[in-house]
Amino acid sequence: MPVDRIAVTGWILVAFIFANVGKTVKDQIAMMRDWSIFAAMLFAYEYSRGLSDQLGRPISYLAVRNIDRALFFGTDPNVWMQHHLNVSKILSWYEYPLAVTYMSHFIFPPGVAVLLWWINRDMWVRYVRRLGILFFLACATFAAFPVAPPWLTAKQGYMAPIQRITARAWSHMGIKSVSKVFDRGTAITNPYAAMPSLHAGCALLVVLFFFPYMPKWLRAISLALPASMAICLVYFGEHYVADILAGWLYVGIAFWIASKWENRNSGVAKAKRLR
């Protein structure tokens, strides 16, 4: 279960190459063209740290922390949750599903892209367009405004102590390989890509994308994914509440931009047909 997005992309490309064996060269080229767009988004994320360094942007430890304190009347939500939800050597039952929720971020969004590419390319284009806009906006923010996550802010002494417990439930479930992969992945990813939260944003984006195709009762249930993702991000010390709200806001902007683009293009295409 990799946290290295480049590795995820590589696995997807290899899978499609084998799946396309026997198809025409044109089909192979189309497949590579489609997924090169997806790969470009992930590479942009991975190298946003380097761009931030080149721009000479200072790391922010206090700005977003102070926003959370303003929202919660002087309280740090991460510290409060870990204190009240009993972070100790003995894991609580809810830590296991929250750990699965957190790691689903590295499988679910690309998995949806793979599924849509197979069954409906038009939907795939609409999905990747929204995901691409979200990644572009997020990466631009990471480069211009690098923010330390709560666990790192606490490590530097700007908050009360926070334990980074994101992957420990996997070891307790006897799946130590996941926690080891998580540790390796966090060593090479951008630690200052906290604002906005792509975990929160992607969880909401996937749900909202399928909203028009869901019955009303299922829509309410589907919102459990972004809600539980938000809870685990704060509880694990990975993101501030403000990061999560920003991630959701960016999703709204991505949908608005994509819809404007699609409506304009459909109008142009309709006008051409009427000539």
Under 8 Å between Cβ of 251 and 201: yes
Contacts of 204 (CB under 8 A, 6+ apart): 226, 247, 248, 251
| Residue 27: per-residue pLDDT | 67
Amino acid symbol at 25: V
Give the single-character DSSP code of 59: P
Cis amide linkage into residue 97, ω under 30° from 0: no
Helix-helix angle 224-235:198-210, to 10 degrees: 170
Q: Decide: pTM greater than 0.75.
A: yes
Consecutive H or E run containing 53: helix 48-55
Q: How does DSSP assign 91-104, residue by residue?
A: PPTTHHHHHHHHHG
Where along the chain do its domains lie? 5-274
Per-residue pLDDT of the chain (275 residues; tens, 9 = 90+): 344 555 555 666 666 665 566 666 676 677 777 777 777 777 766 666 566 666 778 889 999 999 999 999 999 999 999 988 876 777 788 888 898 899 888 888 888 988 898 888 899 999 999 999 999 999 899 988 999 999 999 999 999 999 888 877 777 676 655 545 555 545 446 678 889 999 999 999 999 999 999 999 999 999 999 999 999 999 999 999 999 999 999 999 999 999 999 988 776 555 455 45
For residue 123, the number of C-alpha atoms closer than 13 Å in the C-beta half-sphere is 14
CA distance 92 to 166: 13
